[in-house]
Chain A
Amino acid sequence: MSSRIKNQLIAKVITRFPRLAQRFITAYEPWESGEPTPWTAVTKPLSECRVALVTTSGVHHKDQLPFDMQDSEGDPSFREIEGATISKDYLITHDYYDHSDAEKDLNIILPIDRLRELQAAGTIGDLAARHYSFMGHIDGHHIATLIGKTARQVVEKLLQDEVDVVLLTPA
Chain B
Amino acid sequence: MGLVQREIEKAGIPTIGISIVREYTEKVQPPRTVYVKWPFGHPLGEPGNVKQQRAVILEAFRVLYSVAAPGEIVDLPFRWRRYDYESYEEPKEFVPNQ
Q: Which A residues have a C-beta under 8 Å from some C-beta of B?
A: 11, 14-16, 18, 21, 25-26, 28-33, 36-47, 54-57, 96-99, 101-102, 104-105, 107-109, 111, 114-115, 117-118, 123-124, 134, 136, 138, 143, 146-147, 151-152, 154-155, 158-159, 163-171
With a CB–CB cut-off of 8 A, which chain A residues contact B64? 42, 46, 165
Count residues of chain B with CB under 8 A from any CB of chain A: 53
Q: Which B residues have a C-beta under 8 Å from some C-beta of A?
A: 1-21, 23-24, 27-31, 39-48, 50, 53-54, 57-58, 60-61, 64-65, 70-71, 93-96
Q: Given A108-B44, A163-B13, A165-B64, verify A151-B53 contact (CB < 8 Å).
A: no
Interface centre among A158, A167, A171 (most CB of B within 10 A): A167
With a CB–CB cut-off of 8 A, which chain A residues contact B28? 30-33
B26 to chain A, nearest CB (A): 9
> A15 contacts B7, CB within 8 Å?
no
Query: CA of A138 to CA of B58 in the docked complex: distance in angstroms?
Result: 29
Query: CA of A14 to CA of B31 in the docked complex: distance in angstroms?
Result: 28
Query: CA of A92 to CA of B89 in the docked complex: distance in angstroms?
Result: 33
Interface centre among B27, B94, B96 (most CB of A within 10 A): B94
Q: Given A25-B23, A123-B94, A163-B13, verify A38-B31 contact (CB < 8 Å).
A: yes
> B39 contacts A15, CB within 8 Å?
yes
Chain B's closest residue to A170 (CB) is: B1
> A109 contacts B31, CB within 8 Å?
no
With a CB–CB cut-off of 8 A, which chain B residues contact A107? 44, 47, 53
With a CB–CB cut-off of 8 A, which chain A residues contact B58? 123
Q: Given A37-B29, A38-B10, A108-B41, verify A30-B2 contact (CB < 8 Å).
A: yes
> B3 contacts A146, CB within 8 Å?
yes
With a CB–CB cut-off of 8 A, which chain B residues contact A55? 1
> A33 contacts B57, CB within 8 Å?
no
> B20 contacts A170, CB within 8 Å?
yes
Chain A's closest residue to B16 (CB) is: A167
Query: CA of A146 to CA of B2 in the docked complex: distance in angstroms?
Result: 11
Query: CA of A47 to CA of B61 in the docked complex: distance in angstroms?
Result: 11
Interface centre among A45, A97, A107, A136 (most CB of B within 10 A): A107
